[in-house]
Amino acid sequence: MFMDDNAPPHRARIVTARLLEVGVPHMVWPAMSPDLNPIEHVWDQLKQRLDDRTPPPRDLAELRVALVEEWNALPQNNIIAANGGNIRY
């Protein structure tokens, strides 16, 4: 099941055609739905934690390790506190 936020890259004809071609069902979802926003907060926190690492990962193997470490260290209370609100970039 493919669920997106109706962003133009997700709605491109080539994407829609490929999803149909490989048989991936598409869930209809309103744009800017707060139900999708919690994962945006998680990705933002993960990116910030990776950006703050000193030294930064030097290659794919180090990035993989860093991602797992930072993912496991994400404070659950921060994720829950986001409560699906709007994302400020």
- According to the model, what pLDDT value does residue 31 have? 64
3-class DSSP state for residue 26? strand
84 and 42 belong to one structural domain = yes
What are the tens digits of pLDDT across the range 27-83?
Answer: 777 666 666 566 777 888 899 999 999 999 999 999 999 999 999 998 877 666 555
39 and 64 belong to one structural domain = yes
65 and 89 belong to one structural domain = yes
13 and 53 belong to one structural domain = no
The pTM of the full predicted model, rounded to 2 decimals, is 0.53
Instruction: Provide the number of structural domains found in the chain.
Output: 2
- According to the model, what pLDDT value does residue 83 have? 54
Task: For residues 48 and 33, give the distance between their C-alpha atoms in angstroms, rounded to a whole number.
Answer: 23
- Are 26 and 19 in contact, with CB atoms under 8 Å apart? yes
16 and 49 belong to one structural domain = no
84 and 66 belong to one structural domain = yes
Task: For residues 3 and 58, give the distance between their C-alpha atoms in angstroms, rounded to a whole number.
Answer: 33
20 and 41 belong to one structural domain = no
Task: For residues 10 and 31, give the distance between their C-alpha atoms in angstroms, rounded to a whole number.
Answer: 11
58 and 21 belong to one structural domain = no
Place of tokens 């970039």: 89
52 and 10 belong to one structural domain = no
Structural domain harbouring 24? 1-31
